[in-house]
């Protein structure tokens, strides 16, 4: 195994351990819960290690301004924001260009799954708030937003599941942390609807040799299926807890 | 002026029922008129912040983060640190909140919390100088509303107090005083110098009835709002009246008596939780746990 070092940081050691001790295909601890907010129509919290993301969904509701409404379907709007204290250096609260781009790609990752035709002339609003960022906030946001949409009872073709894969030297890695995101050779976030097989978010920065590109996609789909199980568990557990409460 | 919708439309019949119940001392959640809802503080969930706290006041939830950074002092107070309270009331917390610049209401809450902390002299600003006259600590206190079920003012203050209380300043090495060159040693942490813990009490006036810690529905039908803050010497250290209606003199005196009587109890509840509760990664277990327990009470 080749040691991968950047800026005196060991990203991958000779035993194949990553900076936080994980193996190449190991996820950080995943926690998901739905229905955690009272006021929102649907809500979810998704944690992958130290990355913590909250999503709230409102709608379908009347669209204002009215001229933006579509006669044949609902509009999906997504706002991705980071809490000022979610990162090392305080982030000023007004939205950055990065937050605006991420809002857009997250919306486009969710849109194919939501059956918007059911609610013409309305809007569905998704608000994502990153409470703590440690790499992989956009994929955590997609996981949280799709759970919150499901929690709000909005009809979907399936849950949207997301994960980041990447490259350290010639090693594929999954679920990149902040260091790997910043100093790794490539970072490739992917969102996928397991029930239809569609890939709905696909980005990459860094460089990737063609043979590793295929391997990355293969590993990503495998990991996405794992994440999909976590999401289903989180949704189920909401109803199991409320059932227990009714029985007791 | 900016017009904004702060209240939901409530039917007359619902309003009448609530008022007639209140006149029999009955509230929608079964509390007495002058009972506070349960306060639940989860200290230090956010590792990236120098201080943080998740607070639930009944079903109202806020997350407060404290970030510290070196800054130039104000010319009139060259040897004192700076703190800024900012509120982010995003639509995550309520369908009535909107994206964009902070609303009048959010700014009012931020300024009330700021004023309470300032007048109680809770933060020892004179101990926040790094290079006197040149460089001081700036403490940013950011309040994120997560779920607005009434009384964001008191919840925000409790969150700010808690985040400051568990917060820290890193050690600073002065490399070159002339050139204002310093190095921050993150690993060595010192508590933020604090001296006092103020507590606040927000009352609502609905018809002839005065009540403490209004829920969202009570806020929707209230005529006026009054916040009183008490420092640990038992002095009143800030007041804010809000909304269109008015208070009678006896309402204000009654509110003052209740606030003074309850101040120590509330301070004890806050202190106890700050000392005893698990922090860091373990704190998230509790935040997640609130998920399915949150329906049981108000």
pLDDT at A246 over 70: no
pLDDT at A8 over 90: no
ipTM (interface pTM): 0.88
The neighbouring-strand residues paired with B51 are: B66
Q: Read off the pLDDT band of B296 (50, 70, 90).
A: very low
Q: Which of A31, A54, A85 sits opposite B142 (nearest CB)?
A: A85
What is the reported pLDDT for B9?
83
Chain centre distance of CA B123: 15
Q: Do A75 and A126 meet the contact criterion of CB atoms below 8 Å apart?
A: no
CB pairs under 8 A between A and B: 119
Interface mutation target, options A28, A29, A38, chain B, most CBs of B under 10 Å: A38
The pTM assigned to this predicted structure is: 0.92
Instruction: List CB contacts of B161: < 8 A, sequence separation 6 or more.
Output: B117, B122, B197, B198, B199, B270
Of the candidates A125, A123, A195, A107, the one whose C-alpha atom is nearest the C-alpha of residue A159 is A195
Q: Do A122 and B171 meet the contact criterion of CB atoms below 8 Å apart?
A: no
pLDDT > 70: percent of chain A: 96
Which residues in chain A are contacts of B215 at CB distance < 8 A? none
Domains and CATH numbers, chain A: 4-234 (3.30.230.70)
The average pLDDT across B210-231 equals: 96
Q: Read off the pLDDT band of B294 (50, 70, 90).
A: very low
Q: Read off the pLDDT band of A185 (50, 70, 90).
A: very high
Which of the listed CATH numbers 1.10.1200.10, 3.40.50.300, 3.30.230.70, 3.20.20.70 matches domain B12-287?
3.30.230.70
- Supply angle C-alpha A23, A25, A28, rounded to 5: 75
DSSP string, A207-238: ---HHHHHHHHHHHHHHHHHHHHHHHHHHHHH
Question: Per the CB < 8 Å rule, is B91 touching A127?
Answer: yes
Q: Do B232 and B197 meet the contact criterion of CB atoms below 8 Å apart?
A: yes
Q: Do B268 and B247 meet the contact criterion of CB atoms below 8 Å apart?
A: no
CA dihedral B277, B88, A234, A215 (to 10 degrees): -110
Is A4 in CB contact (< 8 Å) with chain B?
Answer: no
Is A248 in CB contact (< 8 Å) with chain B?
Answer: no
Q: Give how far Cα B1 sits from Cα of A4, B4, B23, B109, B226, Å.
A: 59, 9, 36, 18, 23
Interface of A with B in 55-114 (CB under 8 A): 56, 58, 61, 79, 81, 83-90, 93-94
Of the candidates A106, A145, A113, A153, the one whose C-alpha atom is nearest the C-alpha of residue A126 is A145
The domains of chain B are located at: 12-287
What is the reported pLDDT for B7?
76
What is the reported pLDDT for A248?
54
Report pLDDT digits (tens) over A53-66. 999 999 999 998 89
Report pLDDT digits (tens) over B264-292. 999 999 999 998 887 777 788 888 876 65
Interface mutation target, options A37, A234, A245, chain B, most CBs of B under 10 Å: A37
Report pLDDT digits (tens) over A90-137. 999 999 999 999 999 999 999 999 999 999 999 999 999 999 999 999
Show the beta-strand stretches assigned E in chain A: 4-6, 9-12, 30-34, 42-48, 51-62, 75-82, 122-132, 161-168, 171-174, 186-193, 198-202, 205-206
Q: CA of A220, closest CA in chain B: separation in Å?
A: 27
Which residues in chain A are contacts of B291 at CB distance < 8 A? 33-36, 45, 238
């Amino acid at each position: 195994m080749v040691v991968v070092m950047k800026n005196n940081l060991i990203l991958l050691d000779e035993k194949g351990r990553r900076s936080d001790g994980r193996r190449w295909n190991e996820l950080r601890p995943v926690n998901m819960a739905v229905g955690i907010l009272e006021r929102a129509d649907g809500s979810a919290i998704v944690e992958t290690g130290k990355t913590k993301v909250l999503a709230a969904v409102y709608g379908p509701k009347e669209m204002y301004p009215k001229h933006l409404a579509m006669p044949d379907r609902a509009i999906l709007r997504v706002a991705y924001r980071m809490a000022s204290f979610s990162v090392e250096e305080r982030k000023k609260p007004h939205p950055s260009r990065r937050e605006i781009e991420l809002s857009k790609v997250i919306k486009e990752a969710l849109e194919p799954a939501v059956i918007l035709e059911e609610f013409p002339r309305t809007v569905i609003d998704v608000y994502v708030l990153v409470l703590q960022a440690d790499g992989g906030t956009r994929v955590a946001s997609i996981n949280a937003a799709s759970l919150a949409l499901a929690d709000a009872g909005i009809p979907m073709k399936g849950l949207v599941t997301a994960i980041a894969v990447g490259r350290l030297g010639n090693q594929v890695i999954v679920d990149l942390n902040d260091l790997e995101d910043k100093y790794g050779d490539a970072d490739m976030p992917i969102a996928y609807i397991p029930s239809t097989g569609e890939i709905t978010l696909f980005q990459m920065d860094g460089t990737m040799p063609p043979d590793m590109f295929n391997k990355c996609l293969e590993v990503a789909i495998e990991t996405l299926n794992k994440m999909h199980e976590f999401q289903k568990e989180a949704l189920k557990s909401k109803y199991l807890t409320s059932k227990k409460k009714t029985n007791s | 002026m900016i017009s904004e919708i702060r209240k939901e439309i409530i039917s007359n019949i619902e309003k009448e029922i609530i008022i007639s119940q209140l006149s029999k001392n009955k509230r929608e959640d079964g509390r007495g008129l002058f009972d506070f809802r349960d306060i639940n503080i989860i200290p230090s969930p956010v590792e990236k912040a120098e201080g943080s706290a998740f607070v639930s006041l009944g079903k109202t939830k806020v997350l407060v983060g404290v970030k510290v950074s070196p800054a130039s002092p104000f010319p009139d107070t060259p040897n004192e640190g700076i703190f800024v309270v900012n509120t982010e009331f995003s639509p995550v917390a309520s369908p009535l909140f909107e994206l964009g610049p902070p609303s009048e209401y959010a700014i009012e809450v931020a300024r009330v919390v700021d004023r309470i902390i300032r007048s109680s002299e809770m933060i020892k600003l004179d101990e926040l100088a790094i290079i006197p006259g040149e460089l001081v600590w700036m403490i940013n206190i950011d309040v994120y509303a997560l779920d607005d079920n009434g009384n964001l003012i008191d919840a925000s203050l409790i969150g700010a107090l808690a985040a400051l209380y568990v917060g820290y300043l890193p050690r600073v090495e002065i490399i070159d005083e002339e050139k204002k060159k310093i190095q921050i040693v993150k690993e060595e942490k010192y508590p933020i110098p604090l001296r006092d813990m103020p507590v606040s009490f927000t009352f609502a006036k609905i018809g002839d009835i005065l009540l403490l810690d209004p829920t969202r529905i009570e806020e929707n039908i209230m005529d006026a709002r009054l916040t009183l803050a008490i420092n640990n010497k038992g002095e009143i250290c800030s007041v804010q009246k809000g909304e269109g209606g008015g208070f009678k003199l006896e309402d204000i005196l009654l509110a003052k008596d209740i606030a003074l009587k309850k101040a120590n109890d509330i301070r004890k509840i806050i202190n106890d939780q700050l000392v005893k509760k698990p922090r860091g990664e373990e704190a998230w277990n509790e935040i997640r746990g609130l998920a399915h327990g949150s329906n049981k009470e108000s």
